[in-house]
Copies of this chain bind each other. A is one copy, B any other.
């Protein structure tokens, strides 16, 4: 169990079976898109990627697949209260860090243990049982600054 054996599209079938879910082409498409895009993507981004590859997928289906994948921990959805916005494949379950360059639009993922610990401590202090935490840092990337 867990997602540490990802991203390997070949194990998708296994993971789906573990959760009693069917192995379908749309689901394979969505996972591939998220793997290849390598950055947070919207449902429509995913649809475009599939189209570009000569495939086809309904946007509603993408929304539903993402919901399913979130439920089984395959993808992470950026928490923007009531908006779908973006999702991506987490390096590690339950937390995420992003650096987003407002100049070129590129997003880079990071993971920092101290930052994780700090977020967990904050939750604990405020009697909050946290399931996920996300850090987003906005600014200018090295390439754009130069």
Contacts and interface: CB of A to CB of B under 8 A. Distances in A.
Interface stretch (A7-15, A24-32, A123-131): A123-131
A48 interface: no
Tally of this chain's copies: 2
Contacts of A131: 102, 138-140
Interface residues of A, number: 45
A78 to B, nearest CB: 6
Given A79-B100, A118-B112, A137 B142 contact: no
A139 B135 contact: no
Nearest to A103: B129
A73 interface: no
A81 B139 contact: no
A132 interface: yes
Contact of A129 (B78, B110, B128, B140): B140
Interface of A: 40, 42, 78-83, 85-86, 97, 99-102, 105, 107-108, 110, 112, 114-115, 118-119, 121-123, 126-142, 145
28 contacts: A42-B82, A78-B80, A79-B138, A80-B83, A81-B86, A83-B85, A102-B131, A108-B126, A108-B128, A110-B122, A110-B126, A112-B118, A112-B121, A112-B122, A115-B115, A115-B122, A122-B135, A127-B141, A129-B139, A129-B145, A131-B139, A131-B140, A132-B137, A133-B136, A133-B138, A134-B135, A135-B136, A136-B136
